[in-house]
Every structure is written in structure tokens, then in C-alpha cells.
Amino acid sequence: MSSSVYVAGVGVITAIGNNVAENLASFEREQAGMAEITLINTKLHGIVPVAEVKMTNEELAALTSFSSQQSRTTLLSLIAAKEALNNAQIENLSNLRTGFVSANTVGGMDKSEDFFVEFTKDNSKGKLRNVFDHECGSMTEAVADQLGLTDYMTTISTACSSSANAISYGARLIKNDILDVVVAGGTDSLTKFTLNGFNTLMILDKEFCKPFDENREGLNLGEGAGYVVLVSDKVAKALNKKMYCELSGYNNSNDAYHQTASSPEGTGCYLAMSRALDKSGLVPGDIDYINLHGTGTPNNDSAEGTAIMRLFGENYPDMSSTKSFTGHTLGASGGIEAVFSALAIKHGLIYPNLRFKTPMHELPFVPAKHFLKDQPVKHVMSNSFGFGGNCTSLIFSAI
């Protein structure tokens, strides 16, 4: 059994960059990725901003071994997962027990939507290949095959906590001596279905979102993918490189308060954070930075803030919502923000909470306003709180 699980590699693609370096540069410039909708034909064009990856499917496919006939979700996944695996620099991967644990919530829905545009006009039209791989698991299978990760493969879909749960599950596979290396995280692309669904819930901001601001009005949807390469003690010692950090704690708790809302007291949020701390052997005062779930909706930010206030008392670490840059990438968010957390430890970073102006009246703390480098960041908590009260917290620690 592996006593520790380490992050050996990271990979990410979001609206603020097509790889790790570009994302870091956007953070330093404090440049958000939200803009008008350009890639989807929707009645919401010009009404709500989104955080699109700034590449067409054809451009994404050119960076992969796939064709543009693959779903956008799959293309984003392969780009980020391949970057993470290359970054880990693991030689002779075929000699190790490897796995791919990937999360998503939309599957190939973008291709299915393309099919029905033609099919509803004439039911003899439409390409069936666009609905053949609709389910979420097909994304994982296609990418795992391309990466050669064949010993274990599974898909997690628990709404906005999906890829955080994928990472904690990957860690358990290593700790229980089932696998040596796991590429874990998630992917999601923007679709008309998700845009319309969130619009029906009336939680989309018509301006750029402002998480944890008193005058917040909702979230901006985004897309992307983020993966970390988790390795065992044995693999970490054999690699000729320094690990990013250790995944020291994780927990998933569910308050089951409501289908789409967190409990006002933040019960699930509190349980996830406190139990992740217990698993890591840390206390609240050890945390240097919290990557907030921070969607910008009134309910979510209030519930998360209430839970943080309960757990941390009067001693609050630096915190911010990087969704103010990337938008809410749904099933990909936990993986993307795990990458940001690992980078925060490696480079001593505090990310800013863009557009924050007015403190929430019920909270005694405010998020970070500016990008900071060379900070003493040893322990980072990353929160991912999903629909149905499915709440997950990950803790990353310096080695």
C-alpha cells in the first residue's frame, strides 16, 4: 500500500489558455476568458457571456490524433491529459499499472445537437455517427486508448464535483495498491442544452461573474479540461524530477438538501472541508490558500462562505474563485482547479478574484484581489460543490 500520493504532472486547457503556461500568463495579466458566444448557434447569443476555449473543433483536432468528428468534450480531454502525462516524464509507462479516471457531464451532447438540427428538418437526414458516442463514458474510453492507459478506466459524473471525485478516487486506487499511476481529472464542453438548462434555473449572469461579491448575480458557463498525474511513493522516487505536491487529503460529503442548491448552512461544504482536513492530518490554520468553488450565484457563495466561517473561525487564509477567469466549467472544474492548486504550491501563487468590489454583508472575510507570486503557499484546499449537495474538498501539500 502506498502511504502517499503525489502529483507528478499537470495539464490544462481553458478559456484563458491552451496549456499550463498560457493559463499562468493570463492569471498574471489578470485577464479573464469570458466573451460573447461564438461557437454555438443559440438564442442566448449577445445576452449572456461564456468562457469558450478560443479554438474551433478543427483547430483542436489538429493538436490531437483525433478528427474533428470527435466531440468537443473528447478533444479537450485529450489535449489536457496528454500535456499532463508528458509533463510527468514517466518512462516505461507500459511496465506500470496505469489508469485513467476522467469526469464529464455532457458527453458527446454537442454532436447530438448537430444531428438533431438536420434530423428535425428531415428525418432521413443527419449523420448517425453524431449520436453514436453520446454517453459520458465514451469520452473516457477514446482518450484512454489514445494515451495507452489500459489497466483501469472509469468515468465519474457527479455534476460540479465530478473531476474532484475522479482525483480522490484515483488516489484511493493508488493507496490500495491497485494502480501505480493514475491520470485523473475531467473535461466538459459548452452545449446548447447546458446553456438553456442553467438559463432556466435563472442563475446565469448577463455580465462577467463576480464571485463572493455582495452584488453577484450568477455564474458564467465555461468549458475546458484539467488533469493531474497521480503516482505512488515508488514511482515518485524513481522519477528524475521534483513532484509538484502531495495530495494529502480529500473527502466527499452529501447534504442532499436540494436538487440544485446547497443548504443555507453549508452543511455539505463544511463536512467536505473538515473531513479532508482530518484525512490530511492538518488543522484549519495550516491552510494557506483556498481555491473556492465560488460560482457567483447567491446561494452557492453564501453556503460556502458560511461553511468557511464555521470552520476557520477568525483566522482566514487567502482565498479566491478562479472561475472569475475560466467561468464555471462544470464537470471539468475540479480537475482544472486541482491543476491551479498544484501550480500555486510549486510557484507560491495567490490567484485574484476578479471584479470583486463589495464584501458580502454576512461574511467577515474578502477574497484576494490581485495576483501574487513567491508567497509561502504550503497547503491548498480546493473546493468543488455540485448539484444535489455533492460536495468534495481536496487538499494539496508541499513536499
- All three cell numbers of 228: 493531474
CB-count burial class (<10 Å; 0-12, 13-18, 19+) for 15: buried
Q: Measure the CA–CA gap between 270 and 183, rounded to whole angstroms.
A: 28
**Phi-psi group of 279: left, alpha or beta (phi > 0 → left; psi -120 to 50 → alpha; rest → beta):** alpha
> CB-side exposure of 384: number of CA atoms within 13 Å?
34
The residue annotated as part of the active site, out of 160, 209, 269, 391, is 160
Known catalytic residue at 328:
yes
Q: Measure the CA–CA gap between 108 and 75, rounded to whole angstroms.
A: 11
Residue carrying the nine cell digits 478559456: 15
CB-count burial class (<10 Å; 0-12, 13-18, 19+) for 129: exposed
Q: Which positions ≥6 away from 274 have C-beta within 8 Å? A: 311
Q: Which residues pair with 284 in a beta bridge?
A: none
The residue annotated as part of the active site, out of 136, 245, 328, 391, is 328
Known catalytic residue at 370:
no
Q: Do 352 and 370 form a contact (C-beta atoms < 8 A)?
A: yes
Q: Which positions ≥6 away from 297 have C-beta within 8 Å? A: 203, 216, 218, 219
Known catalytic residue at 361:
no
Q: Do 186 and 163 form a contact (C-beta atoms < 8 A)?
A: yes
The residue annotated as part of the active site, out of 209, 245, 293, 379, is 293
Q: Measure the CA–CA gap between 373 and 359, rounded to whole angstroms.
A: 24
Residue carrying the nine cell digits 487529503: 249
Q: Measure the CA–CA gap between 186 and 143, rounded to whole angstroms.
A: 11
**Residue type, position 280, single letter:** S
CB atoms within 10 A of CB 36: 11
DSSP 106-161: STTHHHHHHHHHHHHH-TT-S-THHHHT-SHHHHHHHHHHHHT--SEEEEE--GGG
Alpha-carbon distances of 56 from 38, 52, 92, 126, 325, rounded to whole Å: 10, 10, 34, 21, 20
**Residue type, position 70, single letter:** Q
List, by residue number, the catalytic residues: 160, 293, 328
